[in-house]
Amino acid sequence: MISETSNGYVKSEKHSGITTIEFSHPQSNSLPSLLLDELAKEIHSAGLDDETKVIILRSAGDSTFCAGASFDELAAIKDHAAGTKFFSGFAHVINAIRKCPQFIIARVQGKCIGGGLGLVSAADYAIALEEAEIKLSELAIGIGPFVVGVPVERKIGVSGFSQLAIDATLWRNAEWARRKGLYAEVHTAVEGMDESIRRLAHNLAHSNPQAMREMKKIFWHGTEHWDQLLLERAAISGKLAISDFTKNAIAKFKKK
C-alpha cells in the first residue's frame, strides 16, 4: 500500500509476517503534516493486522533517516491552533508506535534530527549505520523538543536527553547513541545493518505473538498518560512556533 502526496510518500509492504513501513520526502525525509498523518495511520493499521508479527520502520534513500519537522510548514504557521495541530502530528505517530502491539524495529541509515530522533526513540529496537549521527536541533530555531523529547528521555534518560536538548547544534555520533541505549547495534556497512534487521525480524516473526504483545505492555508500562501529555507538549511548541524569535530563527535557517 502506498499513500502519496506531492511532497513524498508513506508505503507499507508485508511479507511472511513482517510489515515494512517506509516514508520519504525530497527534503531529507522531513515530515510535513500529511506524511505524519499517513505514518500514524499505517502504523495503526499494521498494529490491527493479525498477520503482522513485527514491523520495520525505515525511510527512503541512503543519507538522512529523517530531518524532523518540515521547515516550510513551520514557517507557514500563523496561529497557536495551527502550531499545536502541526506538532500534534508527531504526538500521534509516537503514540501509534507506543500502542502498536507488535515490536517495531527502526532502520536508521543516516542522520537523525529532531522529530526523526523522536521516532527512533519510540521504536522498540533500533539498528543503525555509523553515519547515523543524531541531534536535537529545536532550541537552535527557537522552540524545544517538547513532544519528541518525551520518548528520547524515556530511552536514554534525563542526562542524555538534556545534553542533546541544551547543546542543540552539536552532532553526537552513532557510538554515543549506542552507549546511551538509543541504538541497539551500529554497523559499518549497509549490508551488515540490513542482514541484522532481517535476522531479527525473521526470528520475531516466528516467535510467540502473544508473548511479544505481553512483553511490549511491560516495556511501555507507565506511559499510559502520553495521550494527554504529548498533546500538552504540542501546545507548548505551537505557542513558541508563532513567536517573533522563532519566526526570525527559522527564516535565518532557511537562508543557509
Instruction: Give 136-145 pLDDT, tens digit per residue.
Output: 999 999 999 9
**Averaged confidence pLDDT in the chain:** 95
Pairing of strands 8-15, 2-5: antiparallel
What does the pLDDT read at residue 2? 54
The structural domains of the chain, ordered by start, are: 2-209+223-255 (3.90.226.10)
Residue 108 has pLDDT above 90, yes or no: yes
Residue 253 pLDDT class (50, 70, 90 cuts) = confident
Residue 225 has pLDDT above 70, yes or no: yes
Cite the DSSP H helix spans in the chain: 33-48, 71-76, 80-99, 115-122, 149-166, 174-180, 190-205, 209-219, 226-241, 244-255
Return the H-helix or E-strand segment holding 111.
strand 111-113
Place of cell 530563527: 249
Calculate the CA 249 to chain-centre distance: 23
The one-letter code for the residue type at 235 is A
Which set of grid coordinates corresponds to residue 97?
508506535
Place of cell 543503525: 128
